[in-house]
Structure formats: structure tokens, C-alpha cells
């Protein structure tokens, strides 16, 4: 019969603790980064709105400037420039929300699912350990009862197979989780940088 020895079980426990810590880190720091990006986007939106107010004031002044045509033209052009700047600020806010904040916000659910997968692996391992104890107990108390021992052995083997399968699946899922996390964070940073490269080029 194939079962896991104490070393394998200990290695599996260490692996689970490592995975649990990694999930906790992602959950904590992605949550914080997402929160602060959200606050940052709201500040940018307020700046856009204030720019719109300045633009409106300048345009109102231009409309009511009837004595000096040159002044009226200059004010109108300046108001139009300001309006264009606010359009870019609006695009900046929308990009932040869609390309930075939205992807980061999905990690709340991603971490929740990862924890559920880890919980399933813990449950399978717990069942295996329970079956191992039961098998050892039967062998100790009733060494001559081949039928009972055989039944316990079968249950233990099932638990072992399930624990091994769940552990392998968890490894694969966590590998994908890590790859996706690294890929997403790279894309998020690039989108954030593009927001400001576009804005700086326009303003300059």
C-alpha cells in the first residue's frame, strides 16, 4: 500500500503554510494598492472638475468681453485649450479606473478562491491523517481481523489518492495564480505610466 510518510506530510504542511502566506500578502498589498489608486483617481477627477470650473469662468468672461475683440479671442482660445486639457484628464481618470483599479480589484475574489482551494487541500490531508490513525488503531487492536484491516486499508488508500490529487491541483493552481499576478502587475504599471506619458506630452 502506498501512503505518505512523515517527511512527505511535513513537506506538504510547509508548502501549505507558504501558499497561505503568499495569498495573505497578495490580499493585503493588492488591496492597499487598489485602495490608494482609487483615492488617487478620485483626486484626479476632482482636479478635472476644478479645471472645468476654471474653463467655464474664463469662457464666461470671454463671452461678456465686448469692448476688446483681441482680448475676447485670446480668452476664448485659452478656454478651449483648458477644456482640451480637462478632456485628457477625464481620459486619464477613465484609464486609471478601467486599466489599473479594475484589474487590481479582482484579486479580492482571486484570493478568496485560492483560500478555498487551500482549504480543500487541508481537508483532504486531514481526512488522510484520520484514516491513517484509524488504520493503525485497527491493526493494533485487531491484527487478526483481515477483513476489517483490508477495509481500513482501502479507505486509507482512497484518502491518500485524494490528498495527493488535491495537493497536485493546488500546486498547479498556485503556479497559475503567481504567473497571472506577475503578468497583471506588469500590465497595470504600464497602463499607469501611459496615463502620464500621454498627459505630459499633451501639456508640453
Task: Kindly list the averaged pLDDT for each block of 10 residues, start to end, along the chain of length 204.
Answer: 57 78 93 95 94 94 84 91 91 92 93 90 88 88 85 89 87 90 92 74 50
Locate 186 and state its grid cell: 506588469
φ, ψ at 23 (rounded to 5°): -60, -45
CA dist., res. 111 & res. 60, Å (int): 52
The pLDDT assigned to 103 comes to: 94
Measuring CA to CA, which residue among 39, 40, 38, 82 is closest to residue 59?
A: 82
The predicted structure's pLDDT at residue 9: 60
pTM check: above 0.85: no
For residues 89 and 44, give the distance between their C-alpha atoms in angstroms, rounded to a whole number: 7
Contacts with 80 (C-beta within 8 Å, 6 or more apart), sequence order: none
Contact assessment for residue 118 and residue 156, using Cβ atoms and an 8 Å cutoff = no
24 closest CA partner among 110, 122, 128? 110
Residues 6+ apart with CB under 8 A from 161: none
Domains in the chain, please, with CATH?
20-201 (1.20.1270.60)
Amino acid at each position: 500500500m502506498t501512503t505518505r510518510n512523515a517527511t512527505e506530510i511535513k513537506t506538504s504542511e510547509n508548502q501549505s503554510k507558504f501558499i497561505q502566506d503568499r495569498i495573505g500578502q497578495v490580499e493585503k498589498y493588492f488591496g492597499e494598492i487598489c485602495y490608494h489608486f482609487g483615492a488617487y483617481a478620485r483626486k484626479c477627477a476632482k482636479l478635472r472638475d476644478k479645471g472645468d470650473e476654471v474653463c467655464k469662468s474664463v469662457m464666461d468672461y470671454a463671452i461678456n468681453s465686448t469692448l476688446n475683440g483681441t482680448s475676447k479671442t485670446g480668452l476664448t482660445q485659452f478656454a478651449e485649450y483648458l477644456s482640451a486639457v480637462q478632456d485628457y484628464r477625464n481620459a486619464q481618470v477613465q484609464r486609471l479606473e478601467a486599466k489599473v483599479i479594475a484589474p487590481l480589484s479582482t484579486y479580492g475574489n482571486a484570493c478568496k478562491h485560492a483560500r478555498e482551494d487551500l482549504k480543500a487541500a487541508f481537508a483532504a490531508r486531514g481526512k488522510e491523517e484520520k484514516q491513517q490513525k484509524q488504520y493503525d488503531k485497527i491493526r493494533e487492536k485487531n491484527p487478526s481481523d483481515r477483513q476489517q484491516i483490508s477495509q481500513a486499508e482501502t479507505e486509507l488508500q482512497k484518502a491518500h489518492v485524494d490528498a495527493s490529487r488535491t495537493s497536485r491541483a493546488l500546486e498547479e493552481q498556485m503556479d497559475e495564480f503567481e504567473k497571472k499576478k506577475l503578468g497583471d502587475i506588469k500590465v497595470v504599471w504600464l497602463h499607469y505610466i501611459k496615463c502620464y506619458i500621454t498627459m505630459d506630452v499633451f501639456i508640453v
